Amino acid sequence: MTITKITGHRGARNLWPENSLTAFRNVLALGVDAIEFDVHLTDAGELVVIHDATLERTTDKSGLVRHLTTQSRTETHLESTTDTVPTLAEVLAILGDAGERQLHVEIKSDEAKKPYPGITEKVVAEIERFGLADRCHLTSFDVSVLEECRRVAPKVERLVSVNAEWAAKQGGLSSFIDNVEGLVDIVAIHHELMAAEWDLITSKLTLDRLCVWTLNDEALIRPWLERGIGHLTSDSPDLALTLRGKIQQQSEPV
Concatenating the DSSP letter of every residue in 39-70 gives EEE-TTS-EEE-SSSBSTTTBS--SBGGG--H
Residue 129 pLDDT = 98
Residue type, 89: A
pLDDT tier for residue 163 given thresholds of 50, 70 and 90: very high
pLDDT tier for residue 79 given thresholds of 50, 70 and 90: confident
Question: CA-CA distance, 152 to 138, in Å (whole number)?
Answer: 11
Question: CA-CA distance, 8 to 30, in Å (whole number)?
Answer: 10
Above pLDDT 70, what percent of the chain? 99
Question: CA-CA distance, 168 to 32, in Å (whole number)?
Answer: 32
pLDDT tier for residue 2 given thresholds of 50, 70 and 90: confident
Residue type, 71: Q
Q: What angle do CA 105, 186, 197 make, to 5 degrees?
A: 125
Residues 83-137 pLDDT 10s: 999 999 999 999 998 899 999 999 999 999 999 999 999 999 999 999 999 999 9
Residue 251 pLDDT = 80
* Residues forming the active site: 9, 51
Structural domains of the chain, with CATH: 5-251 (3.20.20.190)
Residues 45-72 pLDDT 10s: 999 999 999 999 999 999 999 999 999 9
What global pTM score does this model have? Answer: 0.96
pLDDT tier for residue 80 given thresholds of 50, 70 and 90: confident
Q: What region does 74 belong to: left with phi over 0, alpha with psi -120 to 50, or beta?
A: alpha
Residue 252 pLDDT = 74
For the beta carbon of residue 144, count every other beta carbon within 10 angstroms: 9
Distances (CA, A) of 131 to 124, 126, 221: 10, 9, 33
Residue 190 pLDDT = 99
